[in-house]
């Protein structure tokens, strides 16, 4: 029997002026989800089941950008995406363009378990959901008052907003080209995505990972980020489980999650060294973060942004919920 470990995240990149009340709300949610996963692991629930359980909880709470509370498209609607992966046999499932499924992570799990495919999107994913009998709601369920307000700011700034809940004083009237931050060479406003994810290794040494998001505020219809892409935003193998967050286009270009496993496998290094390597050498000028567990019961969080909402725990009693370095 090995040692279990778990980590959760609520996004990399945090505004230094984030109100204290919101910081505390984030910590409380991460702590609740962490304790939910810990209780399940102590009851010998499998890694893949714990990942789904914890991400569902994160999707249900509107605080972060997944499920209810997801960022809005340029048309004011929600298009969600998620992926999940079981490292034991590298089985995976992913979905994009989800508009009515209450918990996209569970639909991704069904794609893995109940379909011959690994990835379904838009109308095909919605039709599969109906056939599987999963819980669906009107798109309005996912839309919050805060998000409607932030979409208005984004449109006034003619920009994509990453942190859509922090008041952007002066942003709406500022020239977007003044921003030093870029995505695919194009200027954006500020950087603080709030994608959610969970990675777990159970006592059997089985690793699993899952990631879920609403994407970017004011994104183009049909935009797909890193979160549902196996190897980019999510990856699990017999060695480790990884969930990423941050600038999606940079994560996609670097196949960030898969690279952690590859560095461990090909260089023969441990989890900490592998995470440090990919964060330093694979993101180019992008900003991102990740959480990871190894089959030895290790847990690591790494990021090059100015913070990351995260929590982690191990069977030997270590537990931490943090935002900054």
Query: So which residues are the catalytic ones?
Result: 195
Contact between 10 and 309 under an 8 Å Cβ cutoff? The reply is: yes
Contact between 313 and 50 under an 8 Å Cβ cutoff? The reply is: no
Nearest to 91 by CA among 69, 114, 118, 70: 118
Rg of the chain taking only CA atoms, in angstroms: 18
- Tokens 């204290």 correspond to 20
Question: What does each C-alpha distance from 244 to 9, 24, 72, 146, 175 come to in angstroms?
Answer: 9, 23, 21, 25, 30
Return the HEC string of 24-40: HHHHHHHHHHHHHHHHH
Structure tokens at 237: 């193998």
- Tokens 């690279």 correspond to 259
Q: What is the largest CA-CA distance in the chain?
A: 58
| Angstrom distance (rounded) from CA 317 to CA 298 | 12
Q: How many CB atoms lie within 10 A of CB 75?
A: 11
Structure tokens at 162: 């990453």
Contact between 86 and 51 under an 8 Å Cβ cutoff? The reply is: no
Q: How many CB atoms lie within 10 A of CB 150?
A: 22
DSSP secondary structure of 5-68:
EEEEEEEE---TT--HHHHHHHHHHHHHHHHHHHHHHHTT--HHHHHHHHHHHHHHSTTSSSST
- Tell me the sheet residues that pair with 9: 197, 310
């Amino acid at each position: 029997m090995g040692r279990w470990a778990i980590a959760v995240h609520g996004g990399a990149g945090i505004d230094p002026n984030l109100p204290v009340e919101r910081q505390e709300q984030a910590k409380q949610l991460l702590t609740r989800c962490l304790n939910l996963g810990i209780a399940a692991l102590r009851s010998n629930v499998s890694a893949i089941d714990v990942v789904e359980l914890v991400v569902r909880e994160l999707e249900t709470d509107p605080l972060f950008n997944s499920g209810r509370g997801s960022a809005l498209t340029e048309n004011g609607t929600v298009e969600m995406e998620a992926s999940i992966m079981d490292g034991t046999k590298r089985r995976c499932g992913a979905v994009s363009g989800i508009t009515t499924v209450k918990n996209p992570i569970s639909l991704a799990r069904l794609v893995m378990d109940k379909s011959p495919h690994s990835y379904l999107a838009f109308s095909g994913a919605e039709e599969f959901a109906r056939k599987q009998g999963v819980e669906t709601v009107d798109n309005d369920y996912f839309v919050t008052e805060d998000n409607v307000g932030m979409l208005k700011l984004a449109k006034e700034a003619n920009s994509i907003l990453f942190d859509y809940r922090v008041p952007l004083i002066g942003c709406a009237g500022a020239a977007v080209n003044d921003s030093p931050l870029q995505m695919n060479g194009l200027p954006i406003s500020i950087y603080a995505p709030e994608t959610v994810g969970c990675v777990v290794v159970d006592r059997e040494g089985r690793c699993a990972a899952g990631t879920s998001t609403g994407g970017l505020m004011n994104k183009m219809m049909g935009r797909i980020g890193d979160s549902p892409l196996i190897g980019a935003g999510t990856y699990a193998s017999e060695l480790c489980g990884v969930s990423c967050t941050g600038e999606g286009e940079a994560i996609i270009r670097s196949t960030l999650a898969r690279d952690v496993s590859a560095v461990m496998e090909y260089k023969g290094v441990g989890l900490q060294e592998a995470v440090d390597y990919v964060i330093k050498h694979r993101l180019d000028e992008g900003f991102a973060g990740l959480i990871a567990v190894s089959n030895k019961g290790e847990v690591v969080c790494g990021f090059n942004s100015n913070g990351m909402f995260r929590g982690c725990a191990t069977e030997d009693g270590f537990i931490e919920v943090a935002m900054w370095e």
